[in-house]
Amino acid sequence: MQCKIDKKLEDVLLCRELFVSLHKVLLMERIDRTLYTRRIKSLLGKGEAIVLTGHRRAGKSCILECLYTLLTKEGNVLYLDMEDPDNSGITSFEQLNAWIKEHLVADKHNYLLIDEVQEIAGFEKTLRYWVKQSGMDIVVTGSNAMMLSSDIANAFAGRYMRIHIHSLSYSEYLQFNALQPSDESLSSYLYWGGLPFLTNIAVEDTRSRTDYLGSIYDTIFVKDIVIRKQIRNAPIVDNLIRFIADNTGKIFSSSSIVKYLKGKEVSVSSNTIADYMNSLCDTYMIDRVRRYDIKGKKVFEQQDKYYFEDLGLRNYLCRDKRLLDVEKLLENAVYLKLVRDGYEVYVGQLDGKEIDFVARRGDEVVYYQVALHITNDDTYEREFGNLKKIKDNYPKYVVTMDKMALMINDSGIKVISVSDFLL
């Protein structure tokens, strides 16, 4: 088994380096993702490092490059790309410290930007010192395999702020691809997802686009899961990811997965499955969404829902079914919009009924149901009836692709089209 993993790793790394090279060649003109660069700039000067996290190829490096361009107008920028061979000599925290001292400008504000900071052994020893110095701001990105939440907290001893970078939103997808809002544009976004590099591959070149998504998945699977977590039974984890993809937006528990695998003559414990699920969420590829008791105001600890951080990666794993899974994709897209907007998102439970999303942000609470169509009484009752059972006065929405349903006005529940909501 280890030989197979080693061979797969070799193939994955070769493929990854090819796409990295193409990425650097083709994306010469950076599109500023202002949602992130403005937020990063607003947090500078707080005396804490800023760490950009997110799944692979979501655009962390490009955002750092856009930030470099913006900050050169305001001070001295020390930019270090650790994937650049010219920087291969900086391998230790001592060498990093010497490089910083060499490039500092005493009479200017200094901004230290490091891409793939984990390539420098003991980088935290140097950065913990510099983050405390006046006149210095630090922004770094790191590989998922080395920069998970617990690692970041330890590296910066609590003196950091984390900004999670998502793949392109629908509005960014339109901007990157020079598209206007339309049914075709929305379908393309739901089908291919928002990895920025796909902009450089023609939509009609489905093979290359699929191969690219496959290379990203393989890299996450091998480097961030199998190697980092020292998984011995990799096929079970691969099957688990594909099970989650096929059941996007459905409630299930570790024990239900154990029963599913048992039906395939695979024996594994609930605890092992729970550990695997945690590992998958650590990669930032998959998000766990807890259930929330609307009446009791408490979060349940079992039977969660899972959504993918990128629709294209999810569809790659279900490529025989993605044309049939539009409702799952809509629900996943609505979830992503809510978390990008800064909401804590839960699955609502009320007297045995389900509310797709309870979105909370400070004192703000909003309820959402997501429906492909509202074509019969059963669907209407499920989407509107469940919302009407909630007796508080917080806003309630039904998000749908059913244009006829936009005319419905029932008990103050607002109906909005998916395209308008995502924009």
Looking at the structure, do residues 272 and 347 belong to the same domain, yes or no? yes
Q: What pLDDT is recorded for position 146?
A: 60
Q: What pLDDT is recorded for position 226?
A: 87
Q: What pLDDT is recorded for position 329?
A: 95
Q: What pLDDT is recorded for position 150?
A: 59
Looking at the structure, do residues 148 and 208 belong to the same domain, yes or no? no
Looking at the structure, do residues 153 and 245 belong to the same domain, yes or no? no
Structure tokens at 423: 């924009």
Looking at the structure, do residues 132 and 234 belong to the same domain, yes or no? no
Task: Give the residue from 116, 140, 164 where a domain finishes.
Answer: 164
Task: Give the residue from 145, 164, 183 where a domain finishes.
Answer: 164
Q: What pLDDT is recorded for position 264?
A: 77
- What is the chain's pLDDT, residue by residue, as a tens digit (423 residues)? 444 445 554 555 455 445 544 444 444 456 889 999 999 999 999 999 999 988 888 999 999 999 999 999 999 999 999 989 999 999 999 999 999 999 999 999 999 999 989 889 999 899 999 999 999 999 999 876 566 555 676 777 778 899 999 999 999 999 999 999 999 999 999 999 999 999 999 989 999 999 999 999 998 888 888 887 788 888 888 989 999 999 999 988 888 888 888 887 788 888 888 888 888 888 889 999 999 989 888 888 778 999 999 999 999 999 876 566 899 999 999 999 999 999 999 999 998 889 999 999 999 999 999 998 888 888 888 888 899 999 899 999 999 988 877 778 788 899 999 999 999
Q: What is the C-alpha separation between 52 and 152, in angstroms, rounded?
A: 10
Looking at the structure, do residues 138 and 242 belong to the same domain, yes or no? no
Looking at the structure, do residues 158 and 189 belong to the same domain, yes or no? no
Looking at the structure, do residues 200 and 160 belong to the same domain, yes or no? no
Looking at the structure, do residues 87 and 119 belong to the same domain, yes or no? yes
Matching residue, tokens 């990157």:
176
Task: Give the residue from 132, 164, 196 where a domain finishes.
Answer: 164
Q: What pLDDT is recorded for position 83?
A: 87
Looking at the structure, do residues 202 and 121 belong to the same domain, yes or no? no
Calculate the CA 80 to chain-centre distance: 24
The structural domain count of the chain equals 2
* 3-class SS string, the chain: CHHHHHHHHHHHHHHHHHHHHHHHHHCCCCCCCHHHHHHHHHHCCCCCEEEEECCCCCCHHHHHHHHHHHHCCCCEEEEEECCCHHHCCCCEHHHHHHHHHHHCCCCCCEEEEEECHHHCECHHHHHHHHCCCCCEEEEEECCCCCCCHHHHHHHHCCCEEEEECCCCCHHHHHHHCCCCCCHHHHHHHHHHCCCHHHHHCCCCCHHHHHHHHHHHHHHHHHHHHHHCCCCCCHHHHHHHHHHHHHCCCCCECHHHHHHHHHHCCCCCCHHHHHHHHHHHHHCCCEEEECEEECCCCEECCCCEEEEECCHHHHHHHCCCCHHHCHHHHHHHHHHHHHHHCCCEEEEEEECCEEEEEEEEECCEEEEEEEECCCCCHHHHHHHHHHHHCCCCCCCEEEEECCHHHHHCCECCEEEEEHHHHHC
Q: What pLDDT is recorded for position 262?
A: 83
Looking at the structure, do residues 159 and 189 belong to the same domain, yes or no? no
CATH, residue 153: 3.40.50.300
Look up the domain containing 236 and give its range. Answer: 170-422
Looking at the structure, do residues 160 and 247 belong to the same domain, yes or no? no
